[in-house]
Structure 1
Amino acid sequence: MASLGRSTLLPQCTSCLRRVTQLTWGSLQQVRGKSKAAREAERNIVVKLLQDVPRFGRAGGSYIPLNPATMRNRWFPSRLADYVPAVQSKKLRAEGVEITRDTTFGVRDRLEEVEDEEDDFFQQPKHYVRPIEIDLLSPERSMELLNTFVPPTIDFARQPIEQDKADGRPRYGASDAADILTAATMANQPKPSANGIYGSVSNADIASTIKAALAHNDEAARVLLSDGDISFVTGHEGDDTSRVKQLGMFRVQIQIPGAKEPITRNIRIRAKAEPGA
């Protein structure tokens, strides 16, 4: 009786057997996902080649599938291909037009990596840049132009250092010791020259002024003059012949490297006028 009861619970028709089988074993079946290549193929769009591209196809009438990011970032800005609208893409497929890349087109060496060929293709062409040619003047000609365009005297204006004048009134400090220390410090400090100026006039200042004068002539503007080509003959302090720090009239030498003899010019440093004077 027990066996008869169990048999009565089993499905009796074919459709019931099929349904029970699907419910029992369907959950145990493994569902394979799509491969990466298949997923990428679904994302590809149809483009029309405007230029010959190795391993892809020939320009003019070639339709190929391409990754949207590659088209957006590289191909379309480089005008290698053009977008094909979705309506036209469906029409091409309906007409049986072949939409595939030609991996053998333009291949010179089958052992060459595809990525390397694509990178070489997308490299920007190297344009020839012609070097700048400067027709240099001879040292003798440069000195002739300097002698012609540089005036005998070059003027500069600087602010003179004001001299402290004793007013006869006693100076009081916080204490007698402070007064003694202040007096000793002032006695040890060197007194500024009566013609001292704030800052200085250097050979760089003179070179800049001379270059501005030479700029008004096309040939003279080609004279190459540096700060080291100018040195003070008078008025400098010690061995530093690159600047003077006082009012007065001084002489400088100007000599281009390679020239036989220098030329001399006067540098006049005058007191700068007070504003509103």
Structure 2
Amino acid sequence: MTRLGLHVGGPLQQVRGKSKAAREAERNIVVKLIQDVPRFGRAGTYVPLNPAQMRNRWFPKRIADYVPAVQLKQLKAEGTVMGRDFDFGMLRARQAGDEEGPDEVRRQPKNYVRPVELDFLSPARSMELLTTFMPSTLDFARQPIEQEKVEARPQPRYGASNAADILTAAAMAAKPKTPVNGIYGSVSTSDVAASIRTALAHNEEAARVILADSHISFIDGPEGDSARVKQLGSFKVEIKIPGADSPITRSVRIRAKKDDLAQAA
């Protein structure tokens, strides 16, 4: 009791702690508004603000700016008003029908998101780049289908009836014949487009050319299919970007894959 400075029997002095609002007010810093903020004030005014809110939200979003200590001391000496205007922006919010009232966090201006700007090449320029960087002949290697050996004359079948011979002939006629120089799989417009994109990738501007499978078609396919060919040989393809004046014609050469093994040997 002696160390605490209290006298027995004498009146006790009650010491109250500061309120939470007072403690928060002491921690606040003075900032300068860059934008109009409802319930705070107009741009250019000085208001107290929580340091965490300033550091995490207002300063990164360029809503307010820090005030240097030297400038703050001068402002206090000049008697500059540094306080919030709780009525600022309230009337406009009520007229807009905001029943809940303006919230400074909710009404802060949103971050400006710059739209993605895609610099598309014109159809004419795309065709120029295709003409420059695309080879005149596109080579593909495929495995050929071996042709079945057909005997010159059918071997006589002893003891077989005429009806069996008729059925055998009908079955042989119905059996699909392998086309000459046929290959396993095919070479499609998708394969041609992938080969062209590989050739364009070596140039920065040419790599921006948008080429789809539908922009390519075979013009002399053996089976009348403009999307693919299924045999060895040389064929013509037509490439045209939508909006271009005229197409480009290139050759597609399909050779046997076994030729590569023979050359390597």
> How far apart, in 1, do the equivalents of 2:101 and 2:256 lie?
72
> 5+ unaligned residues in a row in structure 2: which ranges?
1-20, 60-83, 155-165
Higher fraction of helix: 1
The corresponding residue for 1:225 is: 211
- Asked whether the equivalents of residues 153 and 267 of structure 1 are also in contact (C-alpha less than 8 Å), the reply is yes
2:130 is aligned with 1:149: no
Question: In the alignment, does 2:136 pair up with 1:161?
Answer: no
The one of 171, 176, 179 equivalent to 1:193 is: 179
- The equivalent of 1:253 in structure 2 is 238
Q: How does 1:38-77 map to 2 (within 5 A)?
A: 47=24, 59-60=47-48
Q: Residue 18 of structure 1 corresponds to which residue in structure 2?
A: none
SS state at 2:191 partner: helix
Tell me if the contact between 2:215 and 2:240 (Cα under 8 Å) persists in the aligned partners.
yes
Larger Cα-atom Rg? 1
**2:38–2:90 contact (8 Å) kept in structure 1:** no
| Aligned-residue offset at 1:162 | 4.4
Mapping for residues 92-131 of structure 1, pairs under 5 Å: 104-109=86-91, 112=94, 113=98, 115-118=100-103, 121=106, 125-131=110-116
Structure 1: gaps of 5 or more residues: 1-43, 63-70, 81-101, 169-179
TM-score normalized with structure 1 length: 0.51
Residue 226 (structure 2) pairs with residue 241 (structure 1): yes
Q: Secondary structure at the match of 1:134?
A: coil
For this pair of structures, how many residues does the alignment match?
193
Query: Considering only aligned residues, what root-mean-square deviation do their CA atoms show, in Å?
Result: 4.7
Counterpart AA for 2:215: D
Mapped partners of 1:245, 1:193: distance in 2: 9
Task: Output the CA distance in 2 between the equivalents of 1:233 and 1:142.
Answer: 21
Identity %: 48
